[in-house]
Chains A and B, each alone.
Chain A
Amino acid sequence: MPIPELVQTHAGSVSRVTLGATKEQGGTRTHTVTIGGAASVVYGGLPEKAGDRPLIAMDVLDTRPDDWPESLSQSFDDVMDSPGKWAAKCVECGADLICLVFDGIHPDKGDKTAADAVAATREVLGAVGVPLILWGCENADKDNQVMPKVSEAAKGENCLIGIVEQDNYKAITAVALADGHNLITGAPLDINIGKQVNILVTDMGFPAERIVTYQSTGALGYGIEYAYSIGERQRLAALSGDKMMAMPAICNVGFEAWRAKEAKLADAPGWGDVAARGPMWEATTAICLLQAGADIIRLRHPKSVAIVKNFIDEIW
């Protein structure tokens, strides 16, 4: 029986951002990666128009974390004192990108110096060939002090650096522009603030097509529906032709999912073995956000990376 035609015409699409730079391009990465480009809502058009495959970034911390549950930390226990070795292990696990997180520079979490952060950056750049994400500690003053040095140390590598926020964007936007990096604009689960930050940094001369957006992520069971709906609204805005909403999106799944009781509680009768349950919780959070249009997913556990990568292989 004939069914009605469903003609989808959109004025816009998600912009494409390429990360990393090879030797010929002035960097030292073995290859580059490209994200974005979707020209329809997720599954809402032709598969050819779904854009580039979403990518997995694995978190590497600049300091051995002391608050990771054992079911998570045991995968990296032998390498957590060396960001380079840690990153290399993540690449073996299938990471498309390494997200180097400078937790240790936070005044309350070690208060490491800019020199420490630069050393960690160089170590990771030397240890792996994949493109890098450089993620501050989300303490505005300390990030403004340290991240410019980190940016400079990775000059020419075409990294993704952030995050910049509505009330603190100038310093990092300026260095990202000067050092040729891409920028992450952040907002606290608020689509209007997200757009506002994009406007602020582009007003400073930062190219819109080198921005990736970030909305604080909620884990499965802990507010994921907010991030999910913002993701869908952002995609619809991009398709409607709003250039300030057309950036690809990154989600911080690993950090959020591993705070959830469901992921880390070992003694939970009837919930299944924590060794399998933790990665499942993290992977399910990621898979839900992929349904809402996420382009880069930050993950932590090798098993969840495998689950999510298998899913991406199946669908994209």
Chain B
Amino acid sequence: MALTGLDIFKLLPKTNCKKCGMPTCLAFAMQLAQKRAKLDACPFVSDEAKQTLDAAAAPPMRLIKFGQGEHQVQVGQETVLFRHEEKFHNPAAVAAVVSDSLTGDALLARIKAVNGLQFERVGLHLGVNAVALKNDSGDPKLFRDAASALKQHSKLAVILYSDSADAIQGALEELTGACPLIASATQSTIEAMAGLAKTHKCPLAVKADSLEALAELTEKAAALGAEDLVLSLDGLSVKERLYTWTKARALALKKGCRALGYPTLSLVDQGDDTRQLADAASLLCKYGNIVAVDSVEPAVYLALLTVVTNIYTDPQKPIQVEAKLYEIGEPDETSPVLFTTNFSLTYYTVESDVEASRIPAYILVVDTEGTSVLTAYSGDKLNEECVKAAIDKFEVESKVKHRKMIIPGYVAVMSGKLEEATGWEVLVGPRESSMLPKYLQEVWSK
């Protein structure tokens, strides 16, 4: 929990020695509270004050990393319950399960299927974030062999799922340097698992059936020197998990409960693809940081990875597309030209409606700093000048021989000025993008 200036003042020497550069200790405390000064600037601060302030400055939820290189996963350090309060910081990780009950070609085929869960949509690359290797066989040797196959055939971050410390140890030896997440330690294995986590410098998930038991385990693990922890629930239904994770997030952020200030791990393996999709999607929203899914159906991952992208979008920062001349289909010199703004939602809506018309066209995207048509127009970020500049910059006049520009219906009012500025004939398109197919087919084609 953040301390106020007065809380901090009580911990300072109160000598007003000015060595920190401030006129008084109180002024220094106020600067510290606003994070504009560092405690080190005070030469006389007590160790006790240091500890208290360090603890208060630590984030309420720990940041956990596993995997390595460009496939490293980083989750946690969230600061809010609702994305509109600020934003969610570190996108949740979606993992696909690989079972060690598979061997040989079947195992390789499964690893290959997981590696292939990669997608391109609306100009973004999405891919599965991790592999959850499960010790279904119960045999440490098979687990170790599967870990070795993973190391050889996949670059993805690994979660080692086994209740056996022996199995985990063998797999860790195969995965030297790969920094997998160990899942999971229970009440009875905590000493052994924490020891492995510490030796191999890996994060450790702890597993129990209640928040009280989890809090006890995290304290114990931390005392044993394993501080990079992840919470996991054992034997609870999806409903119970959703309620429990929501409570854990609130306790960590609102009540400063450090023992629960860790990201969460959930395994979704009940039912068919659609049930797993539904369960995983809800857990990604409420408050799963790592969700491992048993299915390897691509459509499931396309949807889940899109959920993460959307929910973790910064609400303060509209997503933009590059301002340029986009070709839809294979337009030629007689194809229609439309303009719209570079707010990605606006652009992709227009793009999909133009595509639906089946008429090849050019979409000229004008840079409006990521605002929609009406917002841009009212803020003077969309006017005849910037449309003209875009026509020139992207050499639209060399692409088509006609001089007709279809403009969004909402800015019909700029027609006159735009015609004057560009010398183009302005055609006022529909207000709603969804009417574009009809407009292009009926109005343009005439």
Contacts and interface: CB of A to CB of B under 8 A. Distances in A.
Contacts of A236: 82
A221 B123 CA distance: 12
Interface in A243-267: 259-262
Contacts of A67: 356, 437
A100 B303 CA distance: 28
Contacts of A314: 237-239, 278-279
B281 A1 contact: no
A225 B306 contact: no
B39 interface: no
A287 interface: yes
A272 B297 CA distance: 7
A229 B286 CA distance: 13
B278 A283 contact: yes
A1 B215 contact: yes
B53 interface: no
Interface in B316-362: 345, 348-349, 352, 355-356
Contacts of B311: 225, 228, 288
Interface in B96-128: 116, 118-119, 121-122
A75 interface: no
B82 A232 contact: yes
Interface in B60-105: 81-84
B257 interface: yes
Contact of B238 (A42, A259, A315): A315
A47 B240 CA distance: 9
Contact of A280 (B81, B246, B274, B356): B274
Interface in B375-414: none
A167 interface: no
Interface string A200-232: 000000000000000000101111110011001
A42 B246 CA distance: 9
A11 interface: no
A179 B119 CA distance: 51
B211 interface: yes
Contacts of A270: 116, 118-119, 298
Interface string B297-317: 111101110110111010100
A242 B275 CA distance: 36
Contact of B299 (A233, A276, A315): A276
Contact of B243 (A43, A229, A306, A308): A43
B356 to A, nearest CB: 7
Given A1-B212, A3-B211, A4-B251, A284 B277 contact: yes
A236 B82 CA distance: 10
A280 B282 contact: no
A66 to B, nearest CB: 11
B260 interface: yes
A102 interface: no
Contacts of A281: 299, 303
Contact of B246 (A43, A273, A315): A43
Nearest to B435: A108
B8 interface: no
Given A1-B259, A43-B242, A43-B246, A222 B349 contact: yes
B209 interface: no
Contact of B219 (A1, A233, A307): A1
B299 A287 contact: no
A281 to B, nearest CB: 6
Nearest to A47: B243
A232 B310 CA distance: 15
B247 interface: yes
Interface in A49-85: 67
A284 B303 contact: yes
A271 B302 CA distance: 7
A224 B312 CA distance: 11
Interface string B125-167: 0000000000000000000000000000000000000000000
B119 to A, nearest CB: 7
Given A232-B84, A271-B302, A272-B298, A3 B281 contact: no
B286 A308 contact: no
B60 to A, nearest CB: 13
A221 to B, nearest CB: 5
A310 interface: yes
A261 B279 CA distance: 23
B297 A284 contact: no
A146 to B, nearest CB: 19
A217 to B, nearest CB: 13
B302 A225 contact: no
Contacts of A262: 121, 302-303, 306
B438 interface: yes
Given A3-B257, A6-B255, A223-B345, A308 B278 contact: yes
A277 interface: yes
Contacts of A290: 282
A180 B356 CA distance: 41
Interface string A272-316: 110011011101100110111000000000010011101100110
A126 interface: no
Given A44-B250, A281-B303, A271 B275 contact: no
Contacts of A311: 275, 278-279, 282
B282 A221 contact: no
Contact of B310 (A221, A261, A306): A221
Contacts of A224: 310
Nearest to A44: B246
Nearest to A272: B299
B239 A287 contact: no
A50 B256 CA distance: 25
A283 B306 CA distance: 13
B246 to A, nearest CB: 4
Contacts of B259: 1, 3
5 contacts: A3-B211, A262-B121, A279-B274, A307-B278, A311-B275
Given A229-B82, A271-B299, 7 more contacts: A6-B254, A43-B245, A223-B345, A224-B310, A228-B285, A273-B299, A283-B277
Ranked nearest first, the 10 interchain pairs of A and B with the lowest CB-CB distance are: A272-B299, A277-B299, A291-B285, A1-B216, A272-B298, A43-B246, A311-B278, A284-B303, A4-B255, A229-B84
